[in-house]
Structure 1
Amino acid sequence: MAQNLDAPVWQFRSDRKVVYLPDPGTAFSVLITGSIPQGSSEETVVSVSVMFGDSVMMQCAASIKWQGQSSLGANKKSYKLAWQDDDGNDVDVKFGSWLPAGKVDLKGFGSMSAIGNFDRTMARDVISAQIWRNIRSAYSWPNNRIAPLSAWYAAESDMSGPPVGALFSTDGKPCDVYLNGVFAGVFVWRTAAPVSDYVMSKSNPDHILVQPQHGPGDLWSNWSGTNSSWEFDSPKKPDTTSLKSLITYFGGLLDGSTSWGDFRKFTDFNSWIDYTLFCALVASFDSQTNNLYLASWDGGKHYHVCAYDLDETIGIVWGGKSATCEPEDLAIPATQNSFWNAFYQNFGPEIRARYAVLRYRNVISQEAFVGLLDGFFKRIDPNSLKADSKLWGTNDQSSYAYMADWMSRRIAWLDAQWGYSA
């Protein structure tokens, strides 16, 4: 009888192309069995099991490879998993409220001691992205949807359902990872930023998603020679015309040949104000040259800014230590980029006014920040975090207390700099 009952269940499991994985809201384990890549050029196929407590919630095959750019030099590697069924066909996994996706990153956030402290709490990337989403969502309808309402209409035109789980950045949940039965540490099960998370389709030529990749210092003001530093995620066959026009316009702002009064003609102005404010709040020193996305849903007529890759925030600066990363000492904006500095100087009043609204509405506050910290750390088994630190090391900036104190002082300092008083 049991065999007869199990047969349709196993048939159902083998046929489906989306696996539904509930978010447990607490610690969970990822067991990876098979040949683990030993170099950045390797990719293998492994078996992956996800367990909540003693219950196996998912078993799936996946190709696995190292993930990241700078993190390739860390002592604790990060991995990218691409889901497969038993026949090697692609499978999507829907984790909690996230949109279904064929890939997930296991971020290790390891140490690279030669270049300063790194975030060994593994919390900054997740928490900073949520701060950015909270800022972008703090508008009345429909501007609280981040993407224009027309994009939401277009997303449902193929009857695929409303993309209400779209993140417009990344999100992650901490988990314990075991490689062939051996504890490998606490990792972050993080979204891989598929274009669907930006309410986009690669087949739509009007949906542009592009990011700078470690370009030269004049990346934002000189198109000549820098176009190869921009990497398009969408559409499938990108046209660089609108991006070239944007960068050429930015260059003109610096040499005086174009006007700041035309900025709204090229951009979603509010997103640029919010993004500059956000970078000042979390002191993201590298998020105004690299580590961001430009998004357009109208063929490049207006470009929005989206945050991405945020582990070097809240006191973590490349090459820095705690003594050099005090919240009162990190400049606004935290960049040497001429365009972003000029933007801040020209639109300072708008940035300060928006900050006052967000402070008044408690979107930016110590209480809101501690709530995000609590939400992240309560999902980690303290013993696992202790074991991870023993395996991979830690530093004096990688603690709950440091982050909470740093943000409290940063907000107080910004209040003084920008003249906010409750």
Structure 2
Amino acid sequence: MADLAKQPTTGFVNNGSLVQYGNDNTAGDWDYIVISKPNRPWRVSIRGDIPTSKDGVDMSVSVFEGTIPLFSSTGTWKLQGQTSLNATKKNFKIKFRNVETGKKLKVKIGDWTPLNGLVLKGYAADRTLLRDTITTEIWRNLHRDEKGYLAPESAYSYYDRDNLGMRTSVLFSTAGFPCELYHDGEFLGMYIIRSDNDNDQYLIDSSNPGHFLAQPDHANTFWTDGNYNPPEWEINSPDPNTDDSVSFLKRFLRWSSDCIAGRVNMKETYREYIDLECFIDYILLCEVCFSPDSLVNNFMLCSWNATSVSGVMYIYPYDEDQTFGIVDRYLSARDTDPFKMGWVTKRDRMFDRQDPIFFETIHNSFTPEIRARWRYLRDTGKISAETFNRIIKDTTDLINPDMMRKDLELWAMDADVGIGNGKVISDDGKKWSVSFIMNFAKRRIQWLDQQFKYYN
């Protein structure tokens, strides 16, 4: 680890503050640094006590692409995620600090918006590390319109006066890539560096009462009872202590429950409440990636014109590690057959005990529209086995097979993952392979082709 005390002056220096190139370029007051997306495996080397809670502890970190230093920093790291607290292989969140100024240090990776830190996901429920990353990338690929937008154009143009609209690459979910994590020089495991899931990723201005962003957290019955239960929601914007966000959410939940109960006609009223194409795409994502854990949890609700009496809701995926055959209970690899599993967004089997009744109501109200959207996504190749395999390969190319083997040696495949025994949910690891995911995706597409009567 580099000496943290010295101030660099010339040349290429990695001193525990910032990596710098060029003569007499101290860059001591830089508040963010820019790094290309990786072409080789990243290595993150941390020195300091390993955190045991969500309270941050001091550390220093150096980041490498292969053997080439990218930057070094001081800061804090802590445990990340509710499930991780009970897992053997923890998730971590790193916050960077400029050692010279003591100020926060942001890192911009490729076209990502600048991050306040890095989230390191261990994905004990999915030892391939692939499912979350590829599912959100599949989402962006299928939902992106002809201009490359993932939200209404007004959400982008809102920032034209601020930065001339230079926000075209915001993720509208998370993204990630693999890294090797080291602690005090010892290999700590394979992880995914994942982007933050904050307001910036959704073009949300929290000072604007019309900008709404929230997610359900261990929620249960809000679709059917239409009730807003504060402990079940994390509201990012606007301030959850104001009436603005709560009133808008209550309006949406009342409408959804009224549609389910038949008190309101969804087809006649949807334009005032939801962006239909966004919700249809979300349904198709849950189906093609098989995501039963994303029906009353693990999604973001978003709006840019929210009021207590009007506003259109959009939906975006989040935390998609339980996809492509991973469910929160035992189901053998043999029984995890896309031709046997049935619908995720209908009340067929309810694998993760999450009620899909709202999405089933959309199915029943908009069957022709859903079928037409599937045909478009298949005709354009946005959904195909070849497209999915390319997305998978883009991630696996950044994983050294030898280091994955070491990860499996270090963290036993039957380790407690916080949602049950890893040996159980993976059927003794049979679901933890690239080939399983690729074959599952191919057969799931074939099954959905049959349901939607798509014959190319």
TM-score using structure 2 length: 0.85
Q: CA RMSD in A?
A: 2.0
* 1:18 CA drift (Å): 0.7
Aligned to 2:158: 154
SS in 2 for 1:233: strand
Match of 2:248 among 223, 242, 245: 242
- 1:323 maps to what in 2? 334
Shift of the alpha carbon at 1:11? 6.2
Residue of structure 2 aligned with 1:311, choices 321, 324, 341: 321
SS at match of 1:15: coil
Q: 1:241 to 1:29 in 2, by over 3 A?
A: same
- The correspondence of residues 21-420 of structure 1 with structure 2, limited to 5 A, is 21-37=35-51, 39-86=52-99, 87-110=101-124, 118-137=125-144, 139-141=145-147, 144-159=148-163, 162-216=166-220, 218-224=221-227, 226-236=229-239, 238=242, 239=244, 240-260=246-266, 261-300=268-307, 301-321=311-331, 322-334=333-345, 335=350, 336-394=355-413, 395-420=429-454
Q: Give 3-state SS (helix, strand or coil) of 1:355's partner.
A: helix
Equivalent position of 1:421 in the other structure: 455
Amino acid at match of 1:251: S
Instruction: Report if aligned partners of 2:98, 2:105 keep a CA contact under 8 Å in 1.
Output: yes
2:17 is matched with none
The answer as to whether partners of 2:40 and 2:66 remain within 8 angstroms in 1 is no
The corresponding residue for 1:115 is: none
* The structure with more helix, counted as a fraction of residues: 1
Contact 1:333 1:341 in 2 (8 A): no
SS at match of 1:323: coil
Q: Which moved more, 1:359-368 or 1:222-231?
A: 222-231
Deviation >3 Å, runs of 4+: 2-12
Deviations 1:129-153 (A, max 9, x none): 011111111x334xx4122111111
Residues 34 and 11 of structure 1: is their aligned pair in 2 closer, same or farther, counting only changes over 3 Å? farther
| 3-state SS of 1:46 partner | strand
Unaligned runs of 5+ residues in structure 1 are: 111-117
Does structure 2 conserve the Cα–Cα contact (< 8 Å) formed by 1:317 and 1:325?
no
Letter in 2 for 1:67: Q
Change (3 A) 1:236 1:12: farther
Inter-CA distance 177–162: structure 2 relative to 1 (3 Å threshold) = same
8 Å CA contact retained: 1:62, 1:83:
yes
Q: 1:44 to 1:11 in 2, by over 3 A?
A: farther
Greater alpha carbon shift after TM alignment, 220-229 vs 378-387: 220-229
1:166 CA drift (Å): 0.3
Shift of 1:67: 0.6
State the percentage of identical aligned residues: 32
Q: Which amino acid aligns with 2:37?
A: D
CA shift in 2, pair 1:399/1:267, >3 Å? same
In structure 2, distance between residues paired with 1:125 and 1:382: 19
Return the alpha-carbon distance in structure 2 between the equivalents of residues 342 and 9 of structure 1. Answer: 64
1:91 positional shift: 1.5
1:349-392 deviation per Cα after TM superposition (whole angstroms, max 9, x unaligned) = 21111011111111111111111111110111111111111111
| TM-score of the superposed pair, with normalisation by structure 1 | 0.92
Q: 1:259-307 CA deviation, whole Å, 9 max, x = no partner?
A: 1120121111110111011101111001111000001011250000111
Change beyond 3 A, Cα 1:270–1:225? closer
Contact 1:80 1:105 in 2 (8 A): yes
Question: Match of 1:221, SS?
Answer: helix
Letter in 2 for 1:176: E
Q: Is the 8 A contact 1:333 1:344 kept in 2?
A: no
Q: Partner of 1:325: helix, strand, or coil?
A: coil
Whole-angstrom distance in 1 between the partners of 2:209 and 2:24:
40
